[in-house]
Amino acid sequence: MILTKATDIGINYQTIAVTQSRINKGLLAIPVALLEQFPTQKDKIHIYFDDEQQAEVKSFLPLNTSAREARIGGLTKWFAQNNLKANDEVVINVIDSTEGVYRISKESRFVQDIRQLEQQLQQHISTIDDTEVINQTLQTYCQKVHLTEKQLLLNQYVRLKDLPVEIRKYKNVATKHRKENVPFLMRKILEACYEGKCQVSGFTFMQKNGKPYFEIHHIDENRGNDWKNLLVVSPNIHAQFTYGHHSNCFDQEGWLRQVDLNGQLYSVKQLLDKLPTQFTKTIYQ
């Protein structure tokens, strides 16, 4: 049986519900839907348990054996350490299917770790200077769930898009009163979403460092750094917003959909139209 349920963390993931008979034997049955990520023959695989840095070698039996199910053996100790009971769920992350490397975690612990990482990111969503901390947190998160940084940032865009709106702050720089910049994590997420391409014109160019050039425009210059108020734009479009005649057309949820720049009407690309609005977990029973 396969069930799909909504989850309140910012990723999709899969779990396997364990049965008492398999707990007693120290076995984890692998659903047919996941078998393409496992060896096709009887083999030894390497498993990292929870956050352990040293993998353990375990036996794997494929489906075409007398057991009539694919299974990982030798899990009695780990089951006992985690006090697993019937119908508890475990998460298997594939680190390298070619080399047979996996990570297994009890779902409750896995979710707790992800929530902690997401809280750390949310704490830095409005900060400017904590780039090293943010990059380290993203790296840890990617390793935990085995997603690319871009996919993780897109997920965070969906998860963080409804944070409360704040008034844009000012900062004193050499006696000058200047509006604050867009926080590093928000800029990084927007770069992942649009790959530097202007949401209005689609234009960008590659810098000498190999990264696309883009600027971020505040639709309402006095409004804070919330997602609905930020646009990825090219220098030319940014200058037209700042110095030209323009009018904006928003949808009912407050997202900018069209803009008239000096008499020319443009549609505004919003990536949320193509991203999932809800994350799920798939439970194999």
pLDDT in tens, the chain (285 residues): 789 999 989 999 999 999 999 999 999 999 998 999 999 899 999 999 998 989 999 999 988 766 678 999 999 999 999 999 999 999 999 999 999 999 999 999 999 999 999 999 888 887 767 788 999 999 999 988 989 999 999 999 998 887 765 666 666 655 454 566 889 999 999 999 999 999 999 999 999 999 999 999 999 988 888 899 999 999 999 999 999 999 999 999 999 999 999 999 999 999 988 988 889 999 988
Nearest residue to 101 via CA among 72, 137, 74:
72
Pair 26, 73 in one domain? yes
In a domain, 113, yes or no: no
Please indicate, yes or no, whether residues 129 and 270 belong to a single structural domain of this protein: yes
Domain coverage including residue 184: 124-275
Residues 70, 173 share a domain: no
Number of domains in the chain: 2
Last residue of a domain, one of 106, 138, 153: 106
Of 72, 106, 140, the residue that ends a domain is: 106
Structural contact between residues 126 and 183, judged by C-beta atoms closer than 8 angstroms: yes
**Same-domain check for residues 91 and 129:** no
Q: CA of 53: how far to CAs of 4, 9, 158, 277, in Å?
A: 31, 24, 31, 34
Q: Is residue 161 domain-resident?
A: yes
Q: Indicate the burial class of 227 (C-beta count within 10 angstroms; 0-12, 13-18, 19 or more).
A: buried
- State the DSSP code for 164: P
Does residue 262 sit in the same domain as residue 160? yes
Residues 40 and 98 in one domain: yes
Last residue of a domain, one of 77, 106, 135: 106
